[in-house]
Structure 1
Amino acid sequence: MPSLLFRALSPAGSSAKLSIFIFHRVLPAADPLLPFEPSAEEFAWMARLIAGNFHVLSLGEAARRRQAGTLPAAAAVITFDDGYADNFEVAWPILAAHGLPATFFIATAFLDGGRMWNDEVIEAFRKASPGELDLRPFDLGSHTLSDTSSRIRGYEAVLGKLKYFEHHQRAEVAREIGRQAAVPERSELMMSSDQLKMLHAAGAEIGAHTHTHPILEGLPDEQAFAEIAAGKLEVEAILGETVSVFAYPNGVPGRDCSARHGKMVEKLGFTAAVSTQPRFANAQADRFHLPRFTPWDRTPGRFAARCLLQLWSSRA
């Protein structure tokens, strides 16, 4: 049963506040180049803390119960974006050990050996020799690489700018940066279709996350609709059943997605969709733009405190 304090701040029924946690990866061991991604050891205490303080549901069930006003006290959902192999290999066994359901959103273009554009850039900064990594031909600056911190600063600067390149240009530039640093084209970073089927068979809820993970606001409406539809159809073809939940790529409302994309999602038959607005979903939240949040803290006490603070600050 959730702890008394969390139940008091997030009561059951029509006054419920649904906490939707967002993750991307869970690493087998800490990676200095990816300090924002939890290791298996860190995720184990996060899962234990969430299990002890929240009533965790799949997104589909939580969305239905929110609409009906029947959410339990301290209701929460655990979500993962993109479709990384470590979601199946590392995160799912930890979740299962704590009896926790979770929802996984899959960008289908990268299954079976692909790599997302941001990971292409990160791996290039990992593999590049010390010295100057000159990306000025792409209007992405020149970066002095000497240690882990300089590599992190470099790829963060590049990702922040490259993110808003035209969609196809973004992928092409990222691949060229990868070639420049001898990053192999194929990768085992993302799940295979077989792993996705096994994850689903084990009890995970699977959702759609477009085909190629574009920022929808940067696409013509017809192309945005096609991206959302393709991701849904491809996941359904792999699993052999209907997919009903969706996550917007990048997901910042007003910048990366908007109300018209919510209408597309509804038209395609989804029952709920999540953004990356960092707050909690009350009864008034739009079911096609449900907010998500994950504390960035790396100690259990601070992680729990930030969960409480978010519930407290969203009382109104």
Structure 2
Amino acid sequence: MLDALKRRSGMIALEGGKNLPPIIYYHRVAPGADPDTGVTPPAFDRQMGILKSLGFRGVSLREALKSDASSSAGMICITFDDGYQDNYAFAAPVLEKYGFRGTIYCVTGKMGEKTAWADDPRWVGHRLMTGSEARELAARGFEIAAHSRTHPDLSSLTGEELWTEVRGSREELEEVLGETVETFCYPYGFYNDETREAASRAGYRAARSTRRMRPGKTENLFDLPARSISGEMSLARFAVTVSGFRLLEGWRSPLPPVFSDGESSS
């Protein structure tokens, strides 16, 4: 019964009996961000304030993987896909304000450039953080992790092409950071058995997807589920979502002030 509650409430039940804190993910945090692709800095600040008021501690996936049952209490993994420069400029200072950290997944072959890998114009033309910005964030306690070299659909690649994107991304980022890169995130959330095997063989400890948890199922470290957070999510919905994660531990903290259902987080 308790295991089922954990899976429903956001705790990730892994094969072998270990549990991992829930994972949420963002893309952009920027003024005027399209609600489909990001949140504004004030909205992000309010969301992090809700997490803090509920007693959560925002951490990187790397830190969560190193935790045990006692030290993981109250953790929530905060992650960002693609490595946008606005993560450096706007998201990181807000996280630090609340004593949080997180994981930023960088497209290593495109650092410092503008996004150009999607057909949808909402995703095109946004500046990615530079290597020096990534190094600075790593020095400030953030996990900088790999998101492929060029952001392809990895499930469509095989052999050397796949290996270059998965292992090559880790090698490039380790050269930039001067430290071991431990986790990976699949571009677009697309992967298959060969992709997962490549991530494991490349030396990563875990890989995050974009799918939600499967109730009643155990999860694989190279297929970690996560909850997407966008500007379309109202503050009320965000509060209910994350408070559901907290119910896992049987904590009884009250919800933050009630927000109207129609209040936008953007």
Same-fold call, TM cutoff 0.5: yes
Q: State the 1:236 CA deviation.
A: 0.6
**1:303 aligned to which of 221, 229, 238:** 238
Distance, in Å, in 2 between the alignment partners of 1:288 and 1:303 is 26
Give ranges in structure 1 of 5+ residues lacking alignment.
1-5, 124-158, 160-173, 175-186
- Alpha carbons of structure 1 residues 279 and 311: separation in structure 2 relative to 1, 3 Å: farther
Q: CA–CA distance in 2 between the matches of 1:277 and 1:312?
A: 21
Equivalent position amino acid for 2:182 in 1? S
Distance across 2 between alignment mates of 1:10 and 1:289: 15
Measured after TM superposition, the shift of residue 298 of structure 1 is 3.8
Q: Deviations along 1:109-129, whole A, 9 cap, x unmatched?
A: 2212232322x7416xxxxxx
Q: Please state if 1:196 is matched with 2:198.
A: no
State the distance in 2 between where 1:292 and 1:230 align. 24
Name the structure 1 match of 2:57.
Answer: 55
Greater Rg by CA: 1
Alignment match of 1:230 (pick from 143, 165, 168): 168
Q: Which residue of 2 aligns with 1:139?
A: none
Residues 188 and 122 (structure 1), Cα distance of their counterparts in 2 relative to 1, 3 Å cut? closer
Q: Which runs of 5+ in 2 are unaligned?
A: 1-5, 249-266
| CA displacement, residues 82-106 of structure 1 (integer Å, 9 cap, x when unaligned) | 1100000010000000110100111
Q: Distance in 1 between matches of 2:28 and 2:90?
A: 9
Task: From the superposition, tell whether residues 24 and 258 of structure 1 become closer, same or farther in structure 2 (CA, over 3 Å).
Answer: same
For the residue of structure 2 that corresponds to 1:62, the secondary structure is helix
**Letter of the aligned partner of 2:48 in structure 1?**
A
Measured in 2, the distance between the counterparts of 1:283 and 1:276 equals 16
User: How well do the aligned residues superpose, as a CA RMSD in angstroms?
Assistant: 3.1
1:104 maps to amino acid: I
Task: Letter of the 2:235 partner, please give it.
Answer: P
* Alignment partner, residue 211 of structure 2: 277
Q: Does 1:97 align with 2:32?
A: no
One-letter code aligned to 1:20: I
Counterpart CA distance in 1 for 2:19 and 2:93 is 29
What residue in structure 2 maps to residue 106 of structure 1? 106
SS at match of 2:164: helix
Matches within 5 A, 1:151-230: 189-230=127-168
Q: How does 1:286-297 map to 2 (within 5 A)?
A: 286-296=220-230
User: What is the number of equivalent residue pairs in this alignment?
Assistant: 236
CA displacement at 1:312 relative to structure 2: 7.5
Matched letter for residue 52 of structure 1? S
Match of 1:260 among 194, 201, 219: 194
Structure with greater contact order relative to length (CA < 8 Å, sep ≥ 6): 2
Q: For 1:223 and 1:75, how far apart are their aligned partners in 2? A: 36
Matched, 1:25 2:28: yes
Over the matched positions of the two proteins, sequence identity in percent amounts to 28
> Kindly tell me: are residues 273 and 258 of structure 1, through their superposed partners in 2, closer, same or farther at Cα, counting changes over 3 Å?
same
Q: 2:18, 2:168 → 1: CA distance?
A: 36
Hey, what's the Cα distance between the residues in 1 that align with 2:214 and 2:87? 24
**Structure with the higher fraction of residues in helix conformation:** 1
AA of the residue aligned to 1:214: P
Q: Does the residue aligned with 2:187 lie in a helix, a strand or coil?
A: coil
Q: Distance in 2 between matches of 1:310 and 1:279?
A: 12
Deviations along 1:182-202, whole A, 9 cap, x unmatched? xxxxx6711111111111111
Q: Distance in 1 between matches of 2:146 and 2:237?
A: 32
Contact 1:248 1:274 in 2 (8 A): yes
